[in-house]
Amino acid sequence: MIELNALSKTYAKSERKAVDTLSLTVPDGIIFGFLGPNGAGKTTTIKMACGALEPDQGMVKIDGISMHDSPMEAKSQIGFVNDNPEMFNRLKAREYIDFVADIYRVPSDERKARIESLAEAFEIADVLSNPIGSLSRGMKQKVSIISSLVHDPHDWILDEPMVGLDPEASFHVKEIMRERTRAEKCVFFSTHVMEVAEKICDRLAIISKGRILFTGTLDDLRSLRNGKSSDDSLEQLFLELVDSDDSQK
């Protein structure tokens, strides 16, 4: 479970809070989507949730462990897929994955089995011996996904994971998300595409300008549409929510 309590963050030389007293609980056992337009504050929130960025204010708890008080313990629960799959380009893909597995102290037989099955599912087994710098963006993304799962973390956090993936790989990501929630693990991912959220999420939060505008299920979101034209798609509703927030500022 991920608990974000009144998180705020303002970047240096910025007038505006990138994230503004944001509170959100991501329970275990459901796929939770974090949806919002570009610049809404998704990446900033996710980096604070992972302990990669220190909040100015507020508190992060991972499975009840305070990120501030016990960062190593909290981080050991997390598998994180960055929005930018740039890694150590000179390392071979397998070396990078092994490096991550070493950090998390994953026993060698366990990691071998996990890496092999994931590499097969994502169809990159044949390029694991190639330097990361020689791989396409999509392949780097797959390496990043595999390395985020190598220690079988309780909390899987992904920032825009579907960007740059082919449909088959997106399908696998979705399958893995589903498998993990069935095992009562935690899955939290961001996207700026309503359609992606609609296809995958059990529950979602919509963020705009650093603030949460909506939290609930897709059905809750659909019910907001009552009284409006039934032609309105969720995409339309999402845009309206974000626009009405804009017009209040």
Ligand X SMILES: Nc1ncnc2c1ncn2[C@@H]1O[C@H](COP(=O)(O)OP(=O)(O)O)[C@@H](O)[C@H]1O
| Contact residues: ligand X, CB under 6 A | 11, 14, 18, 36, 38-44
CA separation, residue 26 to residues 63, 103, 139, 192 (Å): 10, 26, 29, 18
Rounded Cα–Cα distance for residues 56 and 17 (Å): 10
Helix (H) or strand (E) holding 44: helix 42-50
Residue type present at position 134: S
Nearer of residues 44 and 128 to Mg ion, judged by Cβ: 44
Nearer of residues 13 and 182 to ligand X, judged by Cβ: 13
Cα-to-chain-centroid distance, residue 23: 16
- Of 125-184, which residues contact Mg ion (CB under 5 A)? none
- As measured in angstroms, the least distance from the Cβ of 113 to Mg ion is 33
Query: Which of Mg ion, ligand X, none has residue 226 at its interface (CB below 5 to 8 Å by kind)?
Result: none
Nearer of residues 12 and 72 to ligand X, judged by Cβ: 12
Rounded Cα–Cα distance for residues 200 and 214 (Å): 17
Token output for 122: 């994502």
Nearer of residues 42 and 154 to ligand X, judged by Cβ: 42
Nearer of residues 37 and 138 to ligand X, judged by Cβ: 37
Instruction: Please select the residue that binds Mg ion; options are 43, 77, 82, 208, rule is CB under 5 A.
Output: 43
164 φ/ψ sector (left φ>0, alpha ψ -120 to 50, else beta): left
- As measured in angstroms, the least distance from the Cβ of 168 to ligand X is 26
- As measured in angstroms, the least distance from the Cβ of 36 to ligand X is 5
Q: Which stretch binds Mg ion (CB under 5 A): 43-51, 56-64, 69-77, 172-180?
A: 43-51
Q: Residues near 139 by Cβ (< 8 Å), separated by ≥ 6? A: 93, 124, 127
> Which residues contact Mg ion by CB under 5 A?
42-43
